Amino acid sequence: MASHDEGKIRLPALPVELGGESDRTDRASSTTTYLDHTSNQNKDGNTRHFSLSGAGQLSLDDVASVQVQIRDLEVSVNTAPSWLAPSTYPNLFKSKFNTAAEMKTLLHSVNADLAPGSLTAIIGGSGSGKTTLLNTVAERIVSSRLHQEGVVTFNGEPGVHTVRHAYVMQQDILLPTLTVRETLRYAADLRLPSATKRQDRWRIVEEVIRELGLKECADTRIGNSQHRGCSGGEKRRVSIGVQLLANPSILFLDEPTTGLDATSAYQLVRTLKALANKGRTIITTIHQPRSEIWKLFDNIIILTRGSPAYSGDASECIPWFESQGFPIPAFVNPAEFVIDIAAIDNRTPELETKSSLRVESLQRHWKQESEKVFLPLGGVISQSHRHHRRILSHGHEERAGFLRQLRVLTCRTFKVTYRDPMGMTAALLEAVLLGAITGYMFWNVGRDQAGIRSRQGGLYITAGLQGYLILLFEVYRLTIDMPTFDRENSENCVDALPFILSRRLARMPTEDVPVPFIFSVLMYFMSGFDRDAGKFFTFFAITLLNQYVSVACAMTCVTAVRHFPGASLMANLIYTIQSIACGMFVQSSSIPVYVRWIKWAAYNVCIRTGT
């Protein structure tokens, strides 16, 4: 691989909805970036370069240091009702079609200096703006209704895409039937450059396992609520490990300790501290950390109502509050103390007024202090400038090719499928039962006029009922698998076409061919159709095609609606309309011409072919 392809990685981005016009996830936040000239100085003053090209040695110990500087960051959103935001329709009618801009401030006057190799915590009460600040710095939200001002630089350059970065979201989206080692190996196959040899990829995986303390559970399945596997803390470290494979210089984490017990949370933050000690800049939101966790942080940003009450060195946080007349009592957790001081008490109007005055005083005094502590960087990053940088990042990305994605995803899907014996058994058992029941109902039908009508009914059942069951089953499975695809697709690791094809290739020997074949054998011969090989295989081919079109219809429904209730409702609606228009109940010539096309919309065309 040429030298200009070295140092490319892929990073994640997930949707953050703001309920407005043209809201979308910034997919560029997960694109590969050029880092050929990125370097840092080791203790001896020598410049270190990290390469993911596969041409050199891969190592997680070589990290390009990155300093993050935030100046006068302000974020506001237009909350005016919009015709393009269905969630605002009630307010739209209440406002009598008044769509004038109504700006709501989300962040105000945020300043920070985050040194390389530091662990920074963003804390505050619920709704204080923690996640908004994290996502803004990580450039993970873009909306036409969002307005942003201020400067965020990385080593003096605007735009997070100038450096390697990774984002770990709050939920652990992992495949439960894979082990920890398998999860990381498949992630490495999709993320690391194509020129990287398998031995190097697996060596990096083992290095990540050691780095995150996952050696004891490396061969344990991830597990879920039905099947026990890794603990919550181990799953969270696996999620971090998936992102760590790209050796990011900056690691963003959204409340990584949520849902963990005190011990697991402490161990996780200790792991983050160890990663920071190797030169990474780690920024995380966290909710009420224990005192031992508080001591691990290098920097603290305390937010209240979108404005900082403090932003700086963790060791100076408590002295600052004491200087403002809020001494910490003995034996009190510092984190809980500062969160309580910077929170609004809504229990009574009197308490709310008192706490609001306290918070406003803290914000005002810290803003005055910020003007002394944080020197201006100069220049404001325009939205057009950010967009230009994202376009450049997209143009320079390197990702796994189509064939590599198809191979890796097919192997992974096949492994997940055969490790789910209940799913395979259910699919095969459904074919046997449905074929036997329908075959018995149409047992050896005659060749008279009544028999002809019965044969037509049998063909309708073949195309309709079998396809309907496959349709619902695939909708259910896709709603489970789509979160994984969404995460990997947003990270620019997986495309839609390899994902779709890999599902069918992996399930062809276990489901796609056996299920329609078993059903066809039982239904065809029990119903007394002609004992002709050509006609039987025509019947089987139509049943097989019917299954694939049902799967395609399920994919369409889940693409439109990600959750099962909505996707299944959409699938049922499509099936009902097509069943009515298939020609079985109403002759096609009798259907109005402007709706007659519906019969060709999807798989009920098989009914017309069969009858």
> What pLDDT sits at residue 93?
56
Q: Are 254 and 14 in contact (CB under 8 A)?
A: no
Helix axes 514-526, 533-560, angle to 10 degrees: 130
Residue 337 is predicted with a pLDDT of 92
Question: 224 and 162, same structural domain?
Answer: yes
The yes-or-no verdict on residue 48 having pLDDT over 90 is no
* Residue (of 415, 31, 398) closest to 196 by Cα position: 398
Give the Cα separation of 502 and 483 in Å (integer): 16
Q: What is the pLDDT of residue 172?
A: 92
Mean pLDDT of 139-157: 87
pLDDT at 83: 60
Residue 512 is given by DSSP the state I
Structural domain ending residue among the three candidates 341, 369, 395? 395
Note whether 458 and 592 are same-domain residues. Answer: yes
| Distance, CA of 611 to CA of 605 (rounded, Å) | 10
Select the more confidently predicted residue: 394 or 158. Answer: 158
Residues 81 and 158 occupy one common structural domain = yes
Q: What pLDDT score was predicted for residue 567?
A: 94
Question: Mean pLDDT over residues 360-369, rounded?
Answer: 92
**One domain, residues 529 and 384:** no
Same domain, 221 and 198: yes
Triad 507, 511, 513: Cα angle to 5°: 100
| Residues 102 and 228 occupy one common structural domain | yes
Statement: residue 610 has pLDDT above 80: no
245 with 173, same domain: the answer is yes
Q: Are residues 483 and 533 in the same domain?
A: yes
Residues sharing a CB contact under 8 Å with residue 235, sequence separation 6 or more, in sequence order: 172, 174, 222
- The Cα 291–Cα 174 span in angstroms is 31
**What pLDDT score does 554 carry?**
93
* pLDDT band at residue 401 under the 50/70/90 scheme: confident
CA distances from 294 to 25, 100, 286, 298, 315 (A): 32, 44, 10, 9, 10
Q: What pLDDT, on a 0 to 100 scale, did the predictor assign at position 608?
A: 42
Which of residues 375, 395, 415 is at a domain's end?
395
**Is residue 605 predicted with pLDDT exceeding 70?**
no
Q: What percent of the chain has pLDDT over 90?
A: 48
pLDDT at 81: 67
Render pLDDT for 123-136 as a digit per residue (tens, 0 to 9): 998 888 999 999 99
Average pLDDT over residues 225-252: 91
> Of the candidates 105, 109, 102, 87, which has an alpha carbon nearest to the alpha carbon of residue 17?
87
Asked whether the beta carbons of 253 and 282 are under 8 A apart, the reply is yes
Q: Determine contact, residues 541/594, Cβ cutoff 8 Å.
A: no
Q: Which of 82-96, 413-427, 432-446 has the lowest mean pLDDT?
A: 82-96
pLDDT of residue 188: 93
Same domain, 475 and 333: no
State pLDDT tens for residues 12-40.
Answer: 333 333 333 333 334 333 333 333 333 34
Which residue did the predictor score with more confidence, 208 or 347? Answer: 208
pLDDT band of 595, cuts 50, 70, 90: confident
Q: What is the pTM of this model?
A: 0.80
State whether 289 and 424 are in the same domain. Answer: no
Does residue 363 register a pLDDT over 70? yes
pLDDT at 380: 46
Q: How many domains does the chain have?
A: 2
pLDDT digit string (tens) for 260-289? Answer: 999 999 999 999 999 999 999 999 999 889
pLDDT of residue 13: 39
Instruction: Residue 284: give the domain boundaries.
Output: 3-395
> Which of residues 454 and 286 earns the better pLDDT score?
286
Tokens for 596?
């007659």
100 and 230 belong to one structural domain: yes
How much is the average pLDDT of 393-411? 76
CATH of the domain at 254: 3.40.50.300
Predicted pLDDT at 8: 37
Does 359 lie in the same domain as 441?
A: no
Range with the poorest average pLDDT among 98-102, 231-235, 261-265, 430-434: 98-102
The pLDDT of residue 555 is: 94
- How far apart are the C-alpha atoms of 311 and 317, rounded to whole Å? 8
Mean pLDDT of the chain: 81
Q: What is the pLDDT of residue 384?
A: 40
Residue 517 exposure: Cα atoms within 13 Å on the Cβ side: 7
Among the ranges given (93-97, 177-181, 493-497), the one the predictor scored with the smallest mean pLDDT: 93-97
Per-residue pLDDT reduced to its tens digit, 537-579: 999 999 999 899 899 999 999 999 999 999 999 999 888 888 8
Last residue of a domain, one of 378, 395, 412: 395
pLDDT at position 221 is 95
Q: pLDDT band for position 85 (50/70/90)?
A: low
Q: How far apart are CA 138 and CA 284, in angstroms?
A: 11
Mean pLDDT, rounded, for 78-98: 60
Q: Which residue has better confidence, 164 or 611?
A: 164
Least confident of 106-115, 233-242, 298-307, 436-445: 436-445
